[in-house]
Amino acid sequence: MTTTPVLEAIDETLETQGKPPVNVIYEWLTTVDHKKIGLMYIVYALIFLVVAGFEAILMRIQLAIPNNHFVSPQVFNQLFTMHGTTMVFFMGMPILFGMGNYLVPLMIGARDMAFPRLNAFSFWISAFAGILLYFSYFGASGLYAAGSAPDVGWFAYAPLTSKVFSPGHSTDYWTLAVFLSGVGSIGTALNIVTTIICMRCKGMKMSRMPLLPWLYLVMSGLVFVAVSPLTAAQVMLTLDRYLGAHFFDTQAGGSAILWMHFFWIFGHPEVYVLVLPAFAFANEVIPVFSRKAMFGYPAMVAASVAIGFISLSVWAHHMFTVGMGPAGNTFFVFATMVISVPTGIKIFNWLATIWGGKIIFAVPMMFMVGFLFQFLIAGLTGIMLSAAPFDWQLSASYFVVAHFHYVLVGAIVFSLFGAFYYWYPKVTGKMMSDTLGKWHFWLFLIGFHLTFDFMHVPGLLGMPRRIYTYEAGRGWDTLNFIVGVGAIFQAAGTLVLVYNMIHSYYKGKEAGHDPWDAWTLEWSVPSPPPSYNFAIEPTVNSRRPLWDLKHPEDPDSDYE
């Protein structure tokens, strides 16, 4: 890529190196560059990953042996509430929004997001929400009465959250934090949709857009329809708690089930809000490391859109035990089972993509292989849970905990880690250490399977979730001990990743602009990309513009 003298001048002006540190901080605090905002999201989410992971370790220590007194029931209940809330709202959503913020404009050939200042606003309000949630540890019962974090669960079922059963302010911190994070999420979703619809470069029809922006488009659509009801529910709960409304206040005739519907109308699409970006990363990494085009691009797009729509009609499969009656139950059984069809199409298309390829097992691909197998298992346990009578046994048991951690960690986190290793060179201009990457992979893989494979079994043996202790003699002891050991392996793996990211930033090999010999637009610009992304607005003729450049004898455009 050639650069014009004018753009070089802009480059110098925007260059932060060599400036006094206070200017660098000011620069980051006031930036509207989608890449910097993306990075801030990622760093902020990684901090919360470590915090919520630490909370998980404390819980696993408590449960490693029966009748343990490591933490009190009050503290344990705060731990699982904070762990769940943090992982979903302050780790999962921000980190995926961060990746999207960074990658979407680069991949569609745009210079920034559609609304750069809204983008900055969304980030800062989400960051503030996370800080607010943790401030409850100090502030929920007056500034100096520490230790009153929310303890109503991340699902905050009514009426446990009403003033009667949850006095004090801890639940209000939860409500406000989730509300504000929702405002940020909706802002970002709006931005991503507008950017994708309006700012694609010349020649990039929707049918030529890479799969990652496609999936972010579906994900952002889901954020609108899923997060809005949650935000409304937070307002209603606050009205209940402070103005004597009775939406969820059962002591005055309100409905506990109304809250469940509101919560799961958000909560189930939320799973797909989190998993669609994970599919997106796999869609970019798997073809490149198999050296093949994505198999069945139109089917992949159709399946993603179908998953988006169907995911809106499955929420009540979280409520098979509340007594909806046979008609309601069978409807939600069917909707839930049907979603396995488009999901299956995705897995088979990934299989067909690696079939006949030349698979290179670099670290990003290793994580994607883990993703494929674990997502397969997560999907199959999902089918088990969709059979309502089986779910009457398994819901709210440790089997469910194992199932959704297979989705959230086995699929999403593995895919995300793969994405880190894949795009790190683009972001920093340095390669991540391969040796450390393999240590990270194996530690995390072993830890993951020790923890979540064995976690299925206590569920089958009748162990409910959210209990701070249990008596011996139920057959749960050994299993919980193994699960605890696995958690420590995962923590070690994550620390290796954090070390690797910092270490490679200073000591890593130079990456060049296209270290993986990839095909999408972000690899056509220098690493790290300049703040205006593209010196000249690119023009594309196919789904893999760089493939066409590298293989003029056999361009992609002939096959589309």
Under rule CB under 8 A, which residues in 288-327 are in contact with another protein? 290-293, 295-299, 321-323, 325-326
CB of 503 to another protein, least distance (A): 27
Is residue 1 near another protein by the rule CB under 8 A? no
Q: Using CB under 8 A, which of 136, 148, 329, 428 touches another protein?
A: 329
Q: Using CB under 8 A, which of 1, 9, 43, 384 touches another protein?
A: 384
Is residue 560 near another protein by the rule CB under 8 A? yes
- 182, 133 Cβ separation under 8 angstroms: no
**For another protein, the closer CB: 7 or 305:** 305
Could you count the other beta carbons within 10 Å of the beta carbon of residue 16?
14
**C-alpha separations of 483 from 157, 449, 542 in Å:** 27, 9, 47
* Contacts of another protein in 486-515 (CB under 8 A): none
User: What is the rounded CA–CA span in Å between residue 307 and residue 284?
Assistant: 19
Is residue 460 near another protein by the rule CB under 8 A? yes
CB of 70 to another protein, least distance (A): 14
CB of 172 to another protein, least distance (A): 18
User: Cα dihedral angle (527, 499, 185, 520), rounded to 10 degrees?
Assistant: 30
CB of 212 to another protein, least distance (A): 18
Q: Using CB under 8 A, which of 145, 344, 502, 539 touches another protein?
A: 344
- 465, 403 Cβ separation under 8 angstroms: no
**For another protein, the closer CB: 152 or 525:** 152
Contacts of 300 (CB under 8 A, 6+ apart): 211, 214, 283, 294, 345, 346, 349
* Contacts of another protein in 400-439 (CB under 8 A): none
User: What is the rounded CA–CA span in Å between residue 314 and residue 341?
Assistant: 14
Amino acid identity of 172?
Answer: D
Tokens representing 308 are 């988006």
* Contacts of another protein in 84-123 (CB under 8 A): none
User: What is the rounded CA–CA span in Å between residue 5 and residue 10?
Assistant: 9
Can you tell me which residue has the tokens 């999962």?
92
DSSP conformation letters of 436-504: HHHHHHHHHHHHHHHHHHHHHHHHHTT-BSS-S---TTSS-HHHHHHHHHHHHHHHHHHHHHHHHHHHH
**For another protein, the closer CB: 168 or 296:** 296
- 459, 400 Cβ separation under 8 angstroms: yes
Q: Using CB under 8 A, which of 145, 467, 502, 549 touches another protein?
A: 467
* Contacts of another protein in 155-184 (CB under 8 A): 157, 159-160, 165
Tokens representing 317 are 């499969």
Is residue 348 near another protein by the rule CB under 8 A? yes
The residue range among 195-203, 390-398, 430-438, 439-447 that interacts with another protein, by the rule CB under 8 A, is 390-398
- 431, 369 Cβ separation under 8 angstroms: no
The residue range among 172-180, 219-227, 383-391, 433-441 that interacts with another protein, by the rule CB under 8 A, is 383-391
Q: Using CB under 8 A, which of 20, 21, 253, 552 touches another protein?
A: 253
Amino acid identity of 558?
Answer: D
Is residue 356 near another protein by the rule CB under 8 A? yes
Q: Using CB under 8 A, which of 122, 220, 231, 397 touches another protein?
A: 397
User: What is the rounded CA–CA span in Å between residue 130 and residue 513?
Assistant: 35
Is residue 283 near another protein by the rule CB under 8 A? no
Is residue 552 near another protein by the rule CB under 8 A? no
CB of 144 to another protein, least distance (A): 23
**For another protein, the closer CB: 4 or 72:** 72
**For another protein, the closer CB: 18 or 473:** 473
Contacts of 441 (CB under 8 A, 6+ apart): 363, 366, 367, 370, 417, 493
Give the distance from CA 262 to its chain's centroid: 21
Q: Using CB under 8 A, which of 168, 357, 526, 528 touches another protein?
A: 357
The residue range among 168-176, 191-199, 276-284, 351-359 that interacts with another protein, by the rule CB under 8 A, is 351-359
Contacts of 549 (CB under 8 A, 6+ apart): none
DSSP 142: B
Is residue 340 near another protein by the rule CB under 8 A? yes
**For another protein, the closer CB: 292 or 513:** 292
The residue range among 105-113, 140-148, 408-416, 475-483 that interacts with another protein, by the rule CB under 8 A, is 475-483
Residue 16's nearest CA partner among 2, 6, 29 is 29
**For another protein, the closer CB: 136 or 349:** 349
- 410, 379 Cβ separation under 8 angstroms: no
Is residue 482 near another protein by the rule CB under 8 A? no
The residue range among 114-122, 193-201, 230-238, 368-376 that interacts with another protein, by the rule CB under 8 A, is 368-376
